[in-house]
Each structure stands twice: as C-alpha cells, then as structure tokens.
Chains A and B, each alone.
Chain A
Amino acid sequence: MSLLTTLARLEAVRAGRARPLATVRHRHLTDRPLVFVPLTTAGEAGAPLGALVGTDRDAPRLLVVPQPRDRDLRWTFLADLAEEVLPYIDAYADHVEPAERTETDPVTGKKAKVATELCLDAPQIVVPSPAGIEYVRLLGRSMRFRRTAEEDPDAPYPAPARVPLLGRWFTHLAERSRMPGSALLLSATGLLSRHWATGQSSLEDQHLGALLAWIAPDPKTGGTGAEQALRAELARDAQGLLLVPPAGPATDPAFDNKLLAPAMARFDAARAADPADPAARSAAEDAVRALVASQLRPTWDAVWRSLDLVRELPPGAHTEQRWTGDRWSYTGHRDRVRAGEPPQPRRDDAVTAARKLGRRETEQVRLDAQEALDDPLVMAARRFAGEAFAGEITEVVMEWTDSKRPSPRPLLAVATEDGPQFDGPAKVYRSLDGRAQTAEHVRTEEDGTVVLRLLDKMGRGREPEPGTVPEKGDQVCWTLFEHEPRSGPRLPEPEDTPWTHGGPPAAGPEATDPVTDEDML
C-alpha cells in the first residue's frame, strides 16, 4: 500500500467518511450485469442455503434449500440456478464481430493471423465480496464433474445437462477473476475499495454494509459514515440478531441457531408427517424461504447501490481495452464448450499453470501502467515512488543523428519537483495520443532538472512532425515504466511437457466425484 493510500485513510478518519482513491472508474461495468448473492450452510462445503439472482434489481429470483443436508433439494437448487444464469451467459454467445487472432504454426513455429470471431459483449456477474467469488469457484468445482443421465445411465442422482455446464462456466469465471483488471466476475467490496479509502482497516472493509456506510452514509439515519459503519457491523436487535445481515456466503451464527435451525426442524417434521400434509409442508417451507430471504435482501440492495456508486465515476480510458480481453476470454470458453471439450481438470497441468501465472504477472504490470495513465491520483502514487515524474518543459534543443539521413533527436529539459529514481542509463515514456513515446535519460542537473533525449514517434523526415515534440512551457508526465509490458518466455505446448514437470497431462475426462454414504439421507 502506498503512503498516498495511507494518507487517504487518515483523511477518511478525520472526515468520518470515505475519501477517493481514484478519479475515474478502473473497471468496465456492463449495462446489464447479473447480481448473484449466495448463502451457504455453516460447516459443510458446497451446501448452498439459498441465493438471490437476477438482472432486475426490483425482481430477483429467490432460490432456497429448505434442508441443505438433503441432496435432492440441493440438486434442485443448482438446476434452478443454472436455469437462471445460463440463459444470461448464453445471450452474448451469438452476437459476434469478425476479428483476427495470432496463432503459432505448430510445425514451422511461425506466427500467422487467423480470421476468427469475437463476441460483441460478454456477461458480467457481480457478487457481494471476495468470499462470494470463492463460493462461485466452489460451486463450479462441485458441479462441473456431475454426470448427466445420457452420459451415465447408472449414475445415482443424474444431473440435468445444464448443471455441469454451469459448473464449467462458474469455474471459468472464477479463474478469470484472478486476472488483474478483469471484469467478468466482480465483487462489490472489491469494486468499492478500489475506488475509495475508508477510515478503517482493509480487513474491516470486507464488510459490505460497513464499507457502503463509509462511502455513502444514509442521510436519513444520521451520524457520520464512521458511526453508521459501526452500526452496520455490530448493531443487534433484542433477539441478538444483526440488524444488517452479513453479506455472506456465511450466515450469522445467531441467525442459524435462533431462527433457521428451528424453522428447518419444523420443515423436517412436516415432511416426515404421516399421513402427509402438503399444506403444512409448504407452509413450513415458506417459513424457511422467508427467513433466508430476510438475510439476502439487504445484501442484494447493497450490491446494486455499490454498482450505482461506482457507475457515477467516469470510465478510465483503458477500461474498454481490458474489457476486450474479457470478451476474448468469454469467446474462447464459448468455443471450448461448443467444441465438446471436457470440463476443466481438477488441477492444471504444469504448462497451463505456468502460462496462467505468466499472463497474470504481465496483466498486473499492464494494469498498473494503464491505471496510472488513466488516473492522476494513481500516477501521483507512482510519482511519489520515483517511478514517474511530471514537470514543465523549460528548454528544447534540436539535435539530429549523424547518419546519412539525419533523424531528429531533440534534447528536452524538464523542471520537476518529483525525484525520479534513475538507475543507470534509463528510458522514460510519455503518452502521445494513446501511444508511448520514448526518451532516454541524459542527465539530472543539480537543481533537479531532468534532461531527456526524445527517440521516436516523430515521423520519418528530418524535421519532426508537428505536435510530436513538446514545446517550452508544456506540462508533461513521464514514466520510468513501459506502457505495454512485454510478455514472459515462450512455453512448450501441454503435450510437450517435459518429464521434469510431470510429463504430458493424462488424456480424457476426469472421473466424477464418488457418491458416499451420506449422499443417501
């Protein structure tokens, strides 16, 4: 964390409400995101309790598992979830534009452009918190190996075809969310804390209700953001229940013990009643549904409010470019599904894992550079760290190369108060109409004036093209980091994984999770 972020937090403490950490929005937001607020059962992995899901903030679909230990009810929940989410994901699959992709020929090793198609837009799913993203990953893992009745007629609990498909999409989205700057799967707390600093620790920022109170305190409630955040975090009613339920997926233990457990016990009793009483059973089920809904609805509204707040910021110039990367990611997975490829393996093979890590590192560098270029507040942190400097051009001296066809190599003197940390001969970059123009550092004068020699983007002629060389009096911001990072080393194809790294991955789809005793209630 930069000292500038710390400073923003200190300011937030004094002001009693959040202070900006960004002047533009650094993540792409689509016009029609799908919000997904899941709740899970304490103590059991992958046992959903319920969810609100949908694209209409006034009409979410409520899905509840009235007895999470009952596998039949759990599978019904997942099938219903797939019914809600898959049409949303698929809606973007057929609107495409022609595009080109660079492919390496496996025989000659040459790179060639291949005509392909790219989806015009992509789905965007928003969950309340990073724990929600992890839950999407968990659900993806629990669903993608399920077998359908067609694949395996003898399988107990065959799944409808859409369930393993949703598992594959959830896995893909969760995996993509680890790519820095990606926006296919976002968390509300992640979005908010990227753009605002609160007067509490980042640990406490994980609480969506508290975070929102710091950023946009409710004028009707009264009190500062800090006071409202405290109330959102801790206030309980006479029964000992939290006034603002946690954003999940974990529930408040007091809610589990005081309300949910008795309601579930009543549901179990009504189900087991002999003779069967459908009215009593459905009343008991409705009671559980109402309880789960009461915990979900405040979080649902909070996620939409978070989106409103972030949407108010003007988009950063590079967000569109990063969204194109997300569209490629979506299109790529669409193609894999259509080609009938098996679900993602339980563990990546060595080459795939190394590739993913390498790409994430490159994307992190790219994201850092792009955010700085888009946002003076982010650039200020880089200037503070000595990785960039801004100042006025005090002198321009024209010089040329010594070759037969001389090219311009003007010298620029930049007066700056920033202290750029040059380490030996260094290159610096500035953004010229969206492209990076390079200069080399010649020397730093005693008064801090930096002398640079401009190297490129001045045209082919002897005289530089107009507008390509800054003039005396111009304010220019230079970076010591490149605007487009280089990608890492080339890796072999997965089939050529050397034996030192486990050899080529095993072919064929993976086995499904075995059915255990407790799958039969």
Chain B
Amino acid sequence: MPPRPLDARALAALAANPGCRRRALLDGAGVDKPALAAALGAPAGYGQSQFAMIRGNSFEAKVKADGGTELLRLVHEKLGRGAEPPRAAHLPDLAAAGPEGRAARTALALREATASGTWTLLDHPMLALEVAGTPAYLEPDAVVVHPDGRWTVVEIKSFPLIDGAADPAKVGAAARQAAVYVLALERVAAKLDGARVGHEALLVCPKDFSNVPAAAAVDIRKQRAVTRRQLDRLARVEDLAAALPDGTSFAPDRTRAQLTEAVEAVGAAYAPDCLAACELAFHCRDRARAAGAVGTLGRQVRGELGTLTTVEAALDAAAGGCPGGPAEDPTAEALHRAARLRAGALAAAGLPADRTEGPGCPS
C-alpha cells in the first residue's frame, strides 16, 4: 500500500486534537484512513459534491487567470500597499519529479524570487514540514513573493464573502490551514537572507453571489502559535509505533476483528468535533459509546464531570454514590444535588421521573 501523504487540512485537524495518539500514528504512518474505516465497518460519510468541485476549480482558475494579474492586484491592494503595483507577474515553473523534487524546486524558486525583488507568483508550490518525526508535503494554493522579500500565503476558497463577511467557522478553518503553510515556509525562509513570511494570509473568496474574486487579509499569528505548539506536542510516531505489539498491521485486507484489535492498541481521544475532521471518527465514536465514555456528549461535558469518565459512574454519583465508598469528590456531590433538584422539578410538573436505579454497589 502506498502511504497516504499528510495534507494541511489533516495537519490542522490533528493540531486541533493533539491528545489523540491514534490519529497521530495513523496519519504519521500514512495509513489510508478512509479504507481502514470502511474495513472496520464505520465508513466516513465524506465526499464532495461534483457541483462544489466544478465551481471551486473554475473559481480558482478564474483567480489565477491572465498569469495571476488579478491575484497579484489583490495581494498588492490588501497587503502590499507600500510597494509599487505589480505590472507583469513572474511565474516560475515549479514542475519536478516527486514531492521531494518539487519541494526543492519551490525552495529554489523562492530564493531566486526573493533575490530578484520582483512580484512573483508561485502557483501550487510544494513545501515540506516535519511532523511527528515524518516529513509531510504540503501544497498551498499559491504563495506570493513581494518585492521587499516578504512571502504571503494565498488561500483560495469557494465559500462566499457577502458584504465583506464570511462564515466564521470556515474562515477559521482556512486560517488554521494557512498557519500550517506559514510554518513550513518559515523553515525555508530561515535559511535565506532578507526573506520573511508575512503573518497575514490572503483569503480569496467569491464576492457576494457572483464568481468575482474578493480578498481579505487574515491575521494568522494566533493560529500559527497554536498550531506550532500542538505540532511540537505531537507524540513522535516512532515512539508510538514502538509501543505497539509486534506484527500490528492496519492493512485493509485483514479481518475486521484483527483491525479492531490493531486500532485499539493505540489510544484515541474521541470528541464529537472529530466527526467533521477525521475519517475514523465514526469507529471511535462507536467504541466510545460502547464504553459509556462521557466524552461522546461533548468536550464540555467531559470537562464538567472531571474524574467521572463514564456514564454509569456519573449516574451512580447522581444517585448518591455507594455507602462506604471512597470520599466523595465535589463533582459527585454536585451531581447528586443536581439530580435531587431535577427530580423535584419533574415531580412538581407531574412528569415521570428519570429511571431511578440505585448505584451498582458491590453487595
């Protein structure tokens, strides 16, 4: 099986849940998670509508049309007011064999562009970033080099910018993705004199209900700092792999039981947010639900309940705990009080009480 390369979207999502060792290992090792999820019987419900794909591609083509004239005009307008306006765009050829070759070619083009001091547009460059001990190759939509040696990451998205405002959740996701590119670019810039990476990325979206590009500068210093810290925290893949039993394999042609066992060998940190970001999330959710983990109700619930990590434990505490059990913690006490208040209110309204069951105490 060829390894599946990490992309910026996966990295940004990984950074959003750094405690998940399962994700770190599978992504770091390049395991084909969609195939694995399907083999586990919990396929991810992803897929993109071809309508969205066609429109997204046609929009990106439109933004980069005419040798990037429009795109450079937007960069100049939003982020490069100090420099003279770009007349003709310099578009270096970035073609090379394999991701390593393309990354090297990109680094060379960046060096030349920075030295030449002219507006340069790098269309789909390739950047390398070491994540959890394995190299990841990333392909931003575009990088623009300013005449003053500043590099700007350009993110082209197909959600609309209506009256100057876009969906905050989508802008946030784009900013986290751009932050990953900035981190990768900074590694290249560190080796060059006079080069620096701009802390503002340019987000290019369709304006209102049209296909006309509109742009906005997005400050990504915060996302960059967060992502950097999370990526540094990621457990190293070799360490995770070393802890696995010998012969563990995630090949999708193995039986479901074997795969389940293999996946269970690495701990997961499931939260409902995973559903939108990880192909294996439905499998992890099934397991977490079967284990009665309170995290399936949301991160906030898990935080509220502290040491009571299972539904049964929390409900036992609500019912009053076991006589002679360990000293009650404040959460258990609060739950017990909440349960009494809730029962009183339900009774006052004449509604049936929650199933009252004594705690499962050892007799």
Contacts and interface: CB of A to CB of B under 8 A. Distances in A.
Main secondary structure, interface of B, reads helix
Interface in B157-198: 158-160, 162-164
B296 A201 contact: yes
Given A11-B355, A42-B52, A202 B341 contact: no
B101 to A, nearest CB: 33
Interface in B277-324: 282, 292, 294, 296-298, 300-301, 304-305, 311-312, 314-315, 318
Nearest to A383: B341
Interface string A1-45: 111101111110111000110011000000000000000011111
A10 B311 contact: yes
A204 B50 CA distance: 25
B342 A380 contact: yes
Lowest 3 CB-CB distances: which A-B pairs, in order?
A43-B52, A23-B349, A42-B49
A410 B345 CA distance: 29
A337 to B, nearest CB: 22
A138 interface: yes
A167 to B, nearest CB: 12
Given A376-B345, A379-B345, A383-B341, A234 B355 contact: no
Interface stretch (B79-87, B206-214, B215-223): B206-214
B272 to A, nearest CB: 4
A44 B208 contact: no
B355 A43 contact: no
B330 to A, nearest CB: 11
Given A10-B294, A375-B349, A377-B342, 5 more contacts: A201-B272, A202-B298, A234-B45, A253-B52, A376-B344
Nearest to A134: B167
Given A3-B334, A10-B315, A44 B55 contact: yes
Given A45-B162, A199-B297, A518-B211, A10 B51 contact: no
Contact of A376 (B45, B47, B296, B348): B348
Given A19-B354, A347-B163, A203 B298 contact: yes
13 contacts: A4-B342, A6-B301, A9-B301, A10-B297, A14-B315, A45-B208, A202-B298, A346-B163, A347-B164, A376-B348, A377-B345, A513-B210, A514-B210
Q: Give the size category of A's interface with B.
A: 35 or more
A199 B292 CA distance: 11
A513 B210 CA distance: 9
B275 interface: yes
Contacts of B344: 376, 380
A256 B49 contact: yes
A375 B298 CA distance: 26
Given A6-B297, A203-B275, A253 B345 contact: no
A251 interface: yes
Given A1-B300, A257-B50, A6 B305 contact: yes
A254 B47 contact: yes
Interface string A245-277: 000000101101100010000000000000000
Contact of B53 (A8, A13, A14, A43): A43
A516 interface: yes
Given A6-B301, A347-B163, A234 B282 contact: yes
Given A199-B297, A200-B296, A256-B49, A13 B346 contact: no
A138 B318 CA distance: 45
B56, B163, B292, B346 pick with most chain A CB within 10 angstroms: B346
Nearest to A376: B345
Interface string B138-167: 000000000000000000001110111000
Contacts of B282: 234
Interface in A371-396: 375-377, 379-381, 383-384
A430 interface: no
Contacts of B47: 253-254, 257
Nearest to A347: B163
Interface string A292-326: 00000000000000000000000000000000000
B276 to A, nearest CB: 8
B273 interface: yes
